């Protein structure tokens, strides 16, 4: 077993760290306050190859492994989790499934533009009455000759208004339960496709989360991914990888809050010495560092299993469950280490604490991760 990162991994880490400091940090507080999508920053992330990191270079991707992707996700999430969720959705939830299951035509038409960052993608599974219970899809696609007629509403869609290409999960035969669900590529601007309200969120406020409405949208048959009835498996498999990305995001949020706390504790004086010299703070820093290290090992292991083409559903759920709990614990403690300064925007940790919470909710709540893990253990 080798815990040493390769030269390539270290180069990715350095590039992401540098980009986060020079391009994401300026304005991150304002974007959070104004709930402004980091449009220019995400565009530059595409130019640097962060939006299709694992895609084959023949489709404009970076041809990198999953470990490179989680390393980049951690670094960007230390500074701006709104920008990093956009990247995670594009890489894991959109590009991955298109590359694995799309036709050559679909890849040429859509994946090449998504992987280069020319356009953004969104993954549309959740509905007003189908969140954790993903089999209860009400969105319906009815086959009429050479196209489907799509009707329904999707909720909580990341990149909701910024995306151009949407993977939409819909029921094609309600009598078959989850085996009657299919997946379609839908383009922004098609008649009957309306971007609904933007959510006013607690955290990741720079990320644009929208509801989407589809009314009699004509979707060509050639835009279905896989066979009819493949949509639920597609969504589950895609989410297995997506959860590694969100686990890396949670890890980055925790690591960012920890690094700020460590630096602050060496500067801030109380009772005649830096607070880092007080055991009360030392114990907090020790717990933060230990939890982050354990989370990182789980995230790297899940990424490694995926790269080895071994079963990683269980490992990705463990990584997401644990890393998101660590993100919450560590950011709460980071605010505590900063005292009153931690409670104001200028010191960043209050934002990281708000951002951390979503990692326990999206791409499957912590309870869903426990379901996936316990099924893996008991099977
Ligand atoms: N990987 C692969 N296949 C899986 C799977 C997994 N993790 N989980 C279930 N499946 C398969 C099962 O093997 C089964 O297949 P077969 O019928 O061929 O045997 C099929 O899916 C149905 O499974 P279940 O009977 O277990 O289905 P269920 O209804 O009991 O529950 C669930 C499944 C795990 C709870 C699932 O509904 C789930 O994961 N829900 C959470 C959905 C979710 O994560 N939503 C997040 C939205 S996306 C998002 O947040 C994106 C964003 O913008 C940030």
Catalytic residue positions? 363
143 Cα–ligand 1 center, Å: 25
pLDDT at residue 134 above 90?
no
Our CA dihedral for 152, 156, 162, 166, rounded to 10 degrees, sits at: -40
233 Cα–ligand 1 center, Å: 7
pLDDT in tens, 25-46: 999 999 999 999 999 999 999 9
Residues with CB under 6 A from ligand 1: 89, 93, 123, 125-126, 132, 134-135, 157-158, 178, 232-233, 236-237, 239-240, 313, 362-364, 368, 371-372
Question: What's the pLDDT score for residue 2?
Answer: 87
pLDDT in tens, 187-235: 999 999 999 999 999 999 999 999 999 999 999 999 999 999 999 999 9
For a pocket test of ligand 1, which of 37, 82, 179, 233 has the largest count of ligand atoms closer than 8 A to its C-beta? Answer: 233
Question: What's the pLDDT score for residue 308?
Answer: 97
Output phi, psi for 177, to 5 deg: 60, -135
pLDDT in tens, 347-366: 999 999 999 999 999 999 99
Which residues, in sequence order, are CB contacts of 2 under 8 Å at separation 6+? none
Question: What's the pLDDT score for residue 41?
Answer: 98
The average pLDDT across 269-274 equals: 97
317 Cα–ligand 1 center, Å: 12
Our CA dihedral for 79, 95, 327, 24, rounded to 10 degrees, sits at: 10
Question: What's the pLDDT score for residue 79?
Answer: 98
Question: What's the pLDDT score for residue 48?
Answer: 97
236 Cα–ligand 1 center, Å: 5
pLDDT in tens, 45-90: 999 999 999 999 999 999 999 999 999 999 999 999 999 999 999 9
Pairing of strands 193-198, 269-270: unpaired
The pLDDT-based confidence of 260 (bands split at 50, 70, 90) is very high
∠ CA 279-284-289, rounded to 5°: 120
Which residues, in sequence order, are CB contacts of 162 under 8 Å at separation 6+? 37, 39, 42, 86, 120, 208
For a pocket test of ligand 1, which of 364, 369, 375 has the largest count of ligand atoms closer than 8 A to its C-beta? Answer: 364
Question: What's the pLDDT score for residue 227?
Answer: 97
The pLDDT-based confidence of 315 (bands split at 50, 70, 90) is very high
Structure tokens at 276: 């880092």
% residues pLDDT > 70 (the chain): 100
The average pLDDT across 152-164 equals: 98
**Distance from C-alpha of 117 to C-alpha of 336, rounded to nearest angstrom:** 38
Which residues, in sequence order, are CB contacts of 77 under 8 Å at separation 6+? 84, 248, 249, 250, 251, 252, 253, 256
Question: What's the pLDDT score for residue 222?
Answer: 98
For a pocket test of ligand 1, which of 77, 96, 134 has the largest count of ligand atoms closer than 8 A to its C-beta? Answer: 134
How high is the mean pLDDT of the chain? 97
Residue with the nearest Cα to atom 47 of ligand 1?
363
**Distance from C-alpha of 302 to C-alpha of 340, rounded to nearest angstrom:** 37
pTM, 2 dp: 0.97
pLDDT at residue 119 above 90?
yes
């Amino acid at each position: 077993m080798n815990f040493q990162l390769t030269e390539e991994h270290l180069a990715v880490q350095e590039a992401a760290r540098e980009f986060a400091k020079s391009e994401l940090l300026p304005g991150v507080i304002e974007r959070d306050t104004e709930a402004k999508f980091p449009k220019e920053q995400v565009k530059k992330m595409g130019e640097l190859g962060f939006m299709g990191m694992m895609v084959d270079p023949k489709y404009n991707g970076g041809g990198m492994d999953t470990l490179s992707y989680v390393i980049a996700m951690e670094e960007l999430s230390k500074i701006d989790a709104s920008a990093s969720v956009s990247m995670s959705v594009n890489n894991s939830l959109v590009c991955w499934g298109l590359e694995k299951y799309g036709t050559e035509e679909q890849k040429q038409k859509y994946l090449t533009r998504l992987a280069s960052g020319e356009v953004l993608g969104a993954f549309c599974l959740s509905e007003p009455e189908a969140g954790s219970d993903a089999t209860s899809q009400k969105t319906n696609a009815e086959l009429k000759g050479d196209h489907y007629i799509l009707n329904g509403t999707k909720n909580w869609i990341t990149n909701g208004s910024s995306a151009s290409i949407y993977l939409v999960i819909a029921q094609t035969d309600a009598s078959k339960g989850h085996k009657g669900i299919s997946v379609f590529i839908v383009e922004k601007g098609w008649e009957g496709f309306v971007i609904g309200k933007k959510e006013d969120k607690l955290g990741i406020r720079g990320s644009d989360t929208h509801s989407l409405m589809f009314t009699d949208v004509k979707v060509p048959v050639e835009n279905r991914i896989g066979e009819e009835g493949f949509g639920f498996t597609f969504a589950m498999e895609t989410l297995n990888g997506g959860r590694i990305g969100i686990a890396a995001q949670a890890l980055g949020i925790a690591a960012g809050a920890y690094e700020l706390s460590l630096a602050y504790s060496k500067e801030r004086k109380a009772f005649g010495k830096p607070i880092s010299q007080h055991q009360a703070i030392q114990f907090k820093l020790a717990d933060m560092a230990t939890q982050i290290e354990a989370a990182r090992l789980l995230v790297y292991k899940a990424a490694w299993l995926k790269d080895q083409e071994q079963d990683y559903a269980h490992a990705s759920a463990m990584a997401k469950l644990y890393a998101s709990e660590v993100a919450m614990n560590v950011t709460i403690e980071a605010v505590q280490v900063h005292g009153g300064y931690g409670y104001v925007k200028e010191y960043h940790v209050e934002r990281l604490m708000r951002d951390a919470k979503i990692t326990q909710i999206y791409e499957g709540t912590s309870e869903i991760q426990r379901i996936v893990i316990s099924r893996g253990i008991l099977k």
